[in-house]
Amino acid sequence: MAYDPNNIFARILRGEIPCKKVFEDEHALAFHDINPQAPTHILVIPKGAYVSFDDFSANAPPAEIVGYVRAIGHVAREQGVADSGYRILANHGANSHQEVPHLHVHIFGGRRLGPMLVKS
Ligand code: AMP
């Protein structure tokens, strides 16, 4: 899938749409999910144009991968969920129900999160 530069997270990165930012550095931007599923629900996105984890893991240079992973851990600690525990999740493609075609990791925390997947 080709990267769509008009996806909503690309527009947030360009400052065209506001977000409730919690962290930013050269590699990543983190902000509150607009429809939180847990008391803490933060999205962390890389600054580079990657459709999903599949694209990022195959194509991002090592410095961007390190910077992004470190940002996710940093944000979780900064949000105060590292001690109590948290879940990170990245959807890729149709079966996962990925909605926004720019890589994003969800950080969920602040309550007991229950089973990993809904039974179908
Ligand atoms: P996914 O299903 O993994 O692609 O998740 C997309 C997430 O983006 C959902 O949890 C949405 O609530 C969230 N979302 C969509 N638009 C925005 C926005 N403008 N600001 C913050 N979060 C958003």
| pTM attached to this predicted model | 0.98
Span from the CA of 55 to the centroid of ligand 1 (angstroms): 19
Catalytic center residues: 104
Measured CA to CA in angstroms, residue 116 lies from 17, 40, 87 at distances of: 32, 17, 9
Please answer whether residues 42 and 22 qualify as being in contact, where contact means their C-beta atoms are separated by less than 8 angstroms. Answer: yes
User: Is the C-beta atom of 88 inside 6 A of ligand 1?
Assistant: no
What's the confidence (pLDDT) of residue 118? 83
Span from the CA of 33 to the centroid of ligand 1 (angstroms): 6
Span from the CA of 32 to the centroid of ligand 1 (angstroms): 9
pLDDT tens digits in sequence order for the chain, 120 residues long: 899 999 999 999 999 999 999 999 999 999 999 999 999 999 999 999 999 999 999 999 999 999 999 999 999 999 999 999 999 999 999 999 999 999 999 999 999 999 999 877
User: Taking the CA of residue 46 as centre, how many other CA atoms within 13 Å lie in the half-sphere pointing to its CB?
Assistant: 25
User: Taking the CA of residue 25 as centre, how many other CA atoms within 13 Å lie in the half-sphere pointing to its CB?
Assistant: 13
User: Is the C-beta atom of 7 inside 6 A of ligand 1?
Assistant: no
What's the confidence (pLDDT) of residue 1? 83
Residue with the smallest CA separation from ligand 1 atom 12 is 35
Tell how strand 40-46 and strand 105-109 pair up: antiparallel
User: Is the C-beta atom of 100 inside 6 A of ligand 1?
Assistant: yes
